[in-house]
Amino acid sequence: MRLIKWFFLFVFTTVVIVSLYQTNWFQKKYMYPMYYQQEVYRYALKNNLNPFLVAGVIRTESKYNPTARSPKGARGLMQLMPTTANWIAAQNKLTVLSDQDLYNPDLNIKLGTWYLSELLNEFHNNEILALAAYNGGRGNVKDWMRRFQWTYDFTEIDKIPFPETRDFVHRVQKSKEKYQYLYGR
């Protein structure tokens, strides 16, 4: 009899936990928070980007940690390499940045959204190619397009040769869809 009570208590608790996990409130608070919303929306709109795509990049790159730093040296929310960030700054007639400046959320999102917008323009608004270039480098993506005869209509994420980049594109797209569902109007 005692075992049956424990079993039903276990089942009831599991059902409650699973039900809570699936609520929009829980998903927004714990799984897909969208910090820095004002900056994300401002710079996404300024650069003609979907704000949920930007949120997906930030979640995938840094999990919204403004002091994130990769082993390769990328910094901040959108994980910008200092050399790339300074190139972006020069393109926008901004002063040369220190590596520490990239930990500033507003500046990092400003630079990262501009760069993502440039990549989308370069790759004819193909989100997959632009995200692959954001993670794996624009030169690599151009090389893949030549070697594998990809066109700007490319859609086969699983054919991206770098596993890290392939995973990055999958994760950003999944996060973008989830953000669109949770925060879209």
Catalytic-residue membership of 39: no
The one-character DSSP state at 87 is H
Tokens of 97: 């940045």
Residue 124, CA distances (Å) to 106, 115, 117, 130 in order: 27, 14, 11, 9
- The predicted pLDDT at position 6 comes to 76
Give the residues of the chain that fall short of pLDDT 70.
7-25, 27-29, 185
- The predicted pLDDT at position 5 comes to 75
- The predicted pLDDT at position 172 comes to 98
* CATH node for 35-183: 1.10.530.10
Q: Say if pTM beats, i.e. exceeds, 0.75.
A: yes
- The predicted pLDDT at position 31 comes to 81
> Which amino acid, 138?
R
- The predicted pLDDT at position 12 comes to 57
How far is residue 84's CA from residue 78's CA, in Å, rounded to a whole number? 12
What b/e string do you get for 13-29 counting C-beta neighbours within 10 Å, with b at 16 or more? eeeeeeeeeeeeeeeee
How far is residue 86's CA from residue 89's CA, in Å, rounded to a whole number? 5
- The predicted pLDDT at position 106 comes to 97
Residue 170, burial from CB neighbour count under 10 angstroms (0-12, 13-18, 19+)? middle
- The predicted pLDDT at position 2 comes to 79
- The predicted pLDDT at position 159 comes to 98
- Out of 39, 61, 122, 127, the active site residue is 61
- The predicted pLDDT at position 95 comes to 85
- The predicted pLDDT at position 16 comes to 54
Tokens of 62: 């840094």
The one-character DSSP state at 32 is S
